[in-house]
């Protein structure tokens, strides 16, 4: 293990065996030091307080969409997105040894996996009960078995907490259930192309405001890979626009587009330029 690896501590939301920890081990390598956190906000606080050097933050899922709280925290804290990681999420139905599928009446997990498996749960007529974490639900069920109860979690959680896998790959669209994570930290990422850039902006209240902001990129043939609006907390009917584009902010065309955007928008916050992740089950960055 290199000195850099031994000194790196990556915070994540949940307990050991969570999907976020699986993403950490894929991205940084097995044996990476990890720090479980109860909430997404605790990830940011751990970095700010020096308990962790990085955070692994889920920002969107291919089936259930954006994790809104993650983007709100990226606005609230002045950290940088250093990388993205795509995790192929495989949902497994876990229960204490001896439990049969026909015994199940209720299933516990984090709201995201429950949403990713909503059709499957409805088909079986099982009650979905939200828990703060997938692996935490698995640990709690192992420690305090409840009759007629199962959880949705990873196979790693099954092994860690001694649960049996009753059914595998129960997500509604198997093979298409990917979660995108941001690796966050205090500093800018070292450039490695192909790059992607994420930012947030707000509009001036005038006609064609959004048209002019997006035109800054269209005029320079910069490809946008995501744009989404979210309400600005405390300012009713006003919105943040989250935008990703291909390329690094230091590229000449991107620099010119950002200068133009600064003129057109009321507020712009750069989240970071970072190596783009390639698609596929491993979600490895190039």
Quick: pLDDT tens for 143-165: 999 999 999 999 999 999 999 99
pLDDT value of position 251: 97
- Please tell me the distance from the alpha carbon of residue 92 to that of residue 171, in angstroms, as a whole number: 8
- Please tell me the distance from the alpha carbon of residue 259 to that of residue 282, in angstroms, as a whole number: 36
Instruction: Fold for 195-275, please state it.
Output: Alpha-Beta Plaits (3.30.70)
Domains 92-167 and 195-275 share a fold: no
Residue 29 pLDDT > 60, yes or no? yes
Considering the entire predicted model, what is its pTM? 0.89
The verdict on whether 79 is a catalytic residue reads: no
pLDDT value of position 280: 40
Q: Are the C-beta atoms of residues 54 and 31 closer than 8 Å to each other?
A: no
Q: Assign 64 a pLDDT band (cuts: 50, 70, 90).
A: confident
Catalytic residue from among 53, 99, 134, 179: 179
Q: Are the C-beta atoms of residues 243 and 201 closer than 8 Å to each other?
A: yes
Q: In DSSP terms, which residues pair with 36 in a beta bridge?
A: 12
CATH of region 92-167, choose from 3.90.1660.10, 2.30.30.30, 3.30.530.20, 3.40.190.10: 3.40.190.10
The verdict on whether 32 is a catalytic residue reads: no
Q: Assign 140 a pLDDT band (cuts: 50, 70, 90).
A: very high
Q: Looking up tokens 């970095």, which residue turns up?
A: 47
pLDDT value of position 216: 98
Express each pLDDT in 11-20 by its tens digit: 999 999 999 9
Residue 130 pLDDT > 50, yes or no? yes
- In DSSP notation, 203-223 reads --SSTTHHHHHHHHHHTTTPP
What SS3 class is residue 174? coil
pLDDT value of position 279: 47
Catalytic residue from among 120, 178, 181, 245: 181
Q: Which CATH superfamily is domain 3-89+177-185 in?
A: Periplasmic binding protein-like II (3.40.190.10)
- pLDDT over 70, % of the chain: 95
Element (H, E) at 239: strand 239-246
- Please tell me the distance from the alpha carbon of residue 27 to that of residue 153, in angstroms, as a whole number: 20
Domain boundaries, the chain: 3-89+177-185, 92-167, 195-275
Q: Are the C-beta atoms of residues 274 and 195 closer than 8 Å to each other?
A: yes
Q: Assign 167 a pLDDT band (cuts: 50, 70, 90).
A: very high
Give the mean model confidence (pLDDT) for residues 230-235.
92
């Amino acid at each position: 293990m290199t000195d850099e690896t031994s000194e790196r501590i990556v915070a994540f939301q949940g307990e050991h065996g969570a999907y976020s920890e699986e993403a950490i081990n894929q991205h940084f390598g097995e044996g990476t030091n990890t720090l479980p956190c109860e909430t997404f906000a605790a990830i940011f606080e751990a970095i700010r307080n020096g308990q962790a050097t990085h955070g692994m933050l889920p920002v969107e899922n291919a089936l259930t969409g954006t994790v809104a709280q993650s983007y709100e925290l990226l606005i609230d804290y002045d950290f940088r997105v250093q990388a993205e990681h795509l995790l192929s999420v495989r949902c497994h139905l876990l229960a204490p040894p001896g439990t049969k599928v026909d015994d199940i009446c209720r299933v516990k997990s984090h709201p995201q996996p429950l949403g990713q498996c909503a059709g499957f749960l409805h088909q079986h007529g099982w009650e979905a009960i939200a828990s703060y974490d997938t692996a935490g639900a698995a640990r709690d069920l192992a420690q305090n078995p409840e009759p007629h109860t199962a959880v949705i979690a990873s196979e790693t959680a099954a092994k860690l907490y001694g649960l049996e896998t009753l059914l595998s790959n129960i997500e509604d669209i198997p093979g298409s259930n990917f979660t995108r994570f941001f690796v966050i930290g205090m500093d800018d990422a070292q450039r490695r192309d192909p790059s992607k850039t994420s930012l947030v902006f707000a509009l001036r209240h005038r006609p064609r405001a959004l048209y002019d902001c997006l035109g800054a990129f269209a005029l320079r043939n910069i490809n946008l890979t995501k744009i989404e609006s979210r309400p600005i907390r405390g300012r009713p009917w006003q919105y943040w626009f989250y935008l990703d584009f291909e390329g690094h902010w230091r590229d000449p065309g991107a620099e010119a587009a950002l200068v133009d955007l600064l003129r057109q928008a009321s507020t712009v916050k750069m989240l970071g330029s970072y190596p783009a992740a390639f698609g596929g089950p491993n979600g490895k960055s190039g």
